Chains A and B, each alone.
Chain A
Amino acid sequence: MSPIVTLIASFLLLIALSVPIAFAIGLASIITIWQLDIPLTSVVNQMFASINSFPLLAVPFFLLLGRLMNDGGITDRLLRFADSTVGHIRGGLGHINVMVSMMFASLSGSAAADTASVGAVLIPAMKKAGYPSPFAVALTAASSVLGGIIPPSILMVIYGAFGNVSVGALFLGGVVPGLLIGLAQMGYAYSVARRLNLQAESEFSLRQVARTGLVAAPPMILPIVVLGGITAGVFTATEAASVAVLVGLLLAVVFYRAIRLRALPGILAESVIAYSLPMFAVAAAGIMGWLISYLGIADEVARFILSVTDARIGIMLMIMAFMLIIGTVLSPVTAVIIFLPIIQSICVAADINQIHMALIVILSLTLGLVTPPYGICLLIASQIGEVSTPRAFVAILPLIGLVMLIILAGILIPDLFLILPQTIMPEAFGGR
């Protein structure tokens, strides 16, 4: 049996047998390494290497922030305000969820952080408002992938840096698909609310808006601090997350006095458990990513794709399908770094625009964030919503379908995604 078959078959089998995902990735890799007859020390070396990454620090910060906002009574105040403003619209909380993610997306660049922070607030709220838990989890996870699509996006920066493609053009190219996905998800949230016949809870009252708004005003400095700080160049996204934690802490402990100082150590310790789960899975996935590179599987895929068809649309569809599959086991960043040389050589061979291809690849890979077995956003959201991953996956399928339709539209009508970067940054398209 070839090592790659061993790797994938044993991984799928172990997952099916309910082995914890991180340990299933680990064991499948151990079996493959054992078959290759190379030292097992690589396992620990790669586990270390994949979590030894500074941007990952934002995840614990936003998880803790969500926790502080909940325990500190900030969430309740924000939601009362949100309720008084859009609560009279059917599906209001669903709209807020998507809207917040779109705004968050234009702030951070990390989808996992969005899931953690928005999810910690809105999943419990949506459950309370009568949405089924799996739907609340699914909508939160699906909308948070906007973090990698609406600029700025960590993934796009890395794609641009490694792939010699204009990051500015990629950012501009992410705007239209990002907006389309957001609108589609809001439409879906509306239709679910209608089907469930969720009644609007409150009636609109300007006085109510003003009253809840006043109470909720202090936490509003959070997004202002984060957005203002990043755009003014005071700090990076990771640093902004730490400042947000400080502000959240001051609000919860000093301003609202909802959390006692004595309770803080416990909250910190429990937050560590909460972030160690996704991060340990990232560590394990790193082993598999390294094995895939090590075995040279990427080159085989390129040869295979070019042997099947040389039509542009056909190739792009195949790459989309391949990225959707790869995205289920690899984080988008790893996948981009591994497969970029192959993607780009295919682009040259088939005369496909690099920016067009980059956007298709990025959109397809980000869907991997919400698909099992290793969809970190879905895992985090399920964790927050206390829903099993399969149930959350069933609920998210229609939302995934919507995104896939938008990707397909982008493949068939290149101008849909490219018109913005092509108009504003024509130089990025010249000569390549």
Chain B
Amino acid sequence: QKLRLATVVSAPHPWVDAAEAFKAEVEEATDQRITVDIFPGGQLGNDQTVVDEIRIGTTDMIIGGVQNIAPYVQDFEIFSLNYLFDDMDAFRAATAPDSAVFAHFAEEMESTGTGLKLLALTGGGTRNLSTNTGPVTEPSDLDDVKMRITGSQLDAKMWQAVGALTTSLPWTEIYTGMQTGVIGAFESTISGFYSSRLYEVAPYHAKTEHQVMMSHFSIGERSFSRLSEEDQAIVLAAARRAGELGTEKGVEYDAALIDTLKEQGVTVTEVDKQAFIDASVPLHDEYAAERGVSDLLTLIREL
């Protein structure tokens, strides 16, 4: 049996490492009864296209950011809240396969009828803020700065709360947008900032560390049920180990990349994190109340 695994990023990236570890483990444990074909670099399309292909039945698995599965399973949107986790340990606790948070999302994924099964939650690196308008150390440095965000209303609110003037642009337009001044700031993973060479147009990188990229590793329910019970157990175990690896690789890459960026002449600043947190936390409760996910928020806070 062949499993097609799609991811939108290319190596080097924690998601690719996770995919490769998964492939190696499954192929060995099943004696090549199951083979895994990895399609990196968005070869099979962007995340939402791939999710629909999995539902259609042509593709089997995906590793990607949860914001791209939120259109199907709305609760995932909560991870777009800045400063949701106190630190990396809280993040690790949430993604652990035996955590209540993981159980909540595995259940949500099943009950919303997306046709996908959540195998593991993993990390994809830290998200920081980059600008060309000057170094950022506190929220007031962002006042009236035109900032690129994704189309999500929540993202817009989060950054408006710290004073930015948000506008939505496709990822691929950031480079020229920064060059011409359509935007003066954007937030991204450190690896995205580096691999798309955005540091050429954004010489200031603020370690806001507002999010750890929550990522999901999922399989089509149909593909999963085609496997024997024994193979299902192997796939599940391998995916969980791959998920843990992804989180650790994310931390490792980020540390190395920050050094590389400094060598490239990027001004890396530490920020007054508490000021950013204070601006963001009220939105957590507001959001949870609005969407009726206060229980989930409590669950995450109790980690």
Of the listed stretches A37-45, A174-182, A260-268, A388-396, chain B binds A37-45
Task: Tell me, in angstroms, the Cα distance from A237 to B46 when the chains sit together.
Answer: 23
Closest CB-CB distance, B302 to chain A, in whole Å?
39
Task: Tell me, in angstroms, the Cα distance from A111 to B221 when the chains sit together.
Answer: 43
Residue from B46, B58, B170 in contact with A38 in the complex, judged by beta carbons closer than 8 Å: B58
Contact B52 A45 (CB under 8 A): yes
**Closest Cβ neighbor of A153 among chain B residues:** B176
Task: Tell me, in angstroms, the Cα distance from A427 to B175 when the chains sit together.
Answer: 18
Closest CB-CB distance, A287 to chain B, in whole Å?
11
Task: Tell me, in angstroms, the Cα distance from A45 to B196 when the chains sit together.
Answer: 28
| In the complex, chain B residues 45-87 whose Cβ is within 8 Å of any chain A Cβ | 45-46, 49, 52-53, 56-58
Contact B197 A160 (CB under 8 A): yes
Contact A46 B45 (CB under 8 A): yes
Of the listed stretches B158-166, B177-185, B242-250, chain A binds B177-185
Of the listed stretches B35-43, B115-123, B204-212, B278-286, chain A binds B35-43
Contact B195 A164 (CB under 8 A): yes
Q: Say yes or no for A296: interface residue by CB 8 A criterion.
A: yes
Contact B57 A39 (CB under 8 A): yes
Residue from B4, B44, B57, B172 in contact with A161 in the complex, judged by beta carbons closer than 8 Å: B172
Q: Say yes or no for A54: interface residue by CB 8 A criterion.
A: yes
Hey, which chain A residues are within 8 Å of B172, CB to CB?
A: 55, 154, 157-158, 161
Q: Say yes or no for B169: interface residue by CB 8 A criterion.
A: yes
Closest CB-CB distance, A325 to chain B, in whole Å?
19
Closest CB-CB distance, B234 to chain A, in whole Å?
24
Contact A46 B49 (CB under 8 A): yes
Residue from B10, B49, B169, B170 in contact with A341 in the complex, judged by beta carbons closer than 8 Å: B10
Hey, which chain B residues are within 8 Å of A288, CB to CB?
A: none
Closest CB-CB distance, A128 to chain B, in whole Å?
37
**Closest Cβ neighbor of A33 among chain B residues:** B58
Task: Tell me, in angstroms, the Cα distance from A49 to B170 when the chains sit together.
Answer: 15
| In the complex, chain A residues 232-274 whose Cβ is within 8 Å of any chain B Cβ | 232-237
Hey, which chain B residues are within 8 Å of A234, CB to CB?
A: 182
Task: Tell me, in angstroms, the Cα distance from A55 to B171 when the chains sit together.
Answer: 12
Task: Tell me, in angstroms, the Cα distance from A342 to B4 when the chains sit together.
Answer: 19
Question: A45-B56, A54-B170 in contact; A341/B176 too (CB < 8 A)?
Answer: no
Hey, which chain A residues are within 8 Å of B20, CB to CB?
A: none
Contact B10 A55 (CB under 8 A): no
Question: A42-B58, A46-B45 in contact; A157/B176 too (CB < 8 A)?
Answer: yes
Contact A294 B44 (CB under 8 A): yes
Hey, which chain A residues are within 8 Å of B37, CB to CB?
A: 296
Q: Scoring A residues 143 to 172 as 1 if CB is less than 8 Å from chain B, else 0, what string do you get?
A: 000000000101001101110111110000
Contact A45 B176 (CB under 8 A): no
Contact A167 B197 (CB under 8 A): yes
| In the complex, chain A residues 340-357 whose Cβ is within 8 Å of any chain B Cβ | 340-341
Residue from B58, B181, B182 in contact with A294 in the complex, judged by beta carbons closer than 8 Å: B58
Hey, which chain B residues are within 8 Å of A109, CB to CB?
A: 176
Question: A45-B53, A340-B41 in contact; A236/B176 too (CB < 8 A)?
Answer: yes
Closest CB-CB distance, A283 to chain B, in whole Å?
13
Closest CB-CB distance, A216 to chain B, in whole Å?
28
Q: Say yes or no for B28: interface residue by CB 8 A criterion.
A: no
Hey, which chain B residues are within 8 Å of A290, CB to CB?
A: 44-45
**Closest Cβ neighbor of B49 among chain A residues:** A49
Hey, which chain B residues are within 8 Å of A293, CB to CB?
A: 39, 43-44
15 more A-B contacts (CB under 8 A) besides A42-B58, A167-B175, A341-B10? A39-B56, A41-B56, A42-B56, A45-B56, A49-B45, A54-B173, A55-B170, A157-B175, A162-B10, A162-B42, A164-B196, A164-B197, A167-B200, A236-B182, A341-B43
Chain B positions within 8 Å of A, measured between CB atoms, are: 4, 10, 37, 39-46, 49, 52-53, 56-58, 169-173, 175-177, 180-182, 195-197, 200, 264
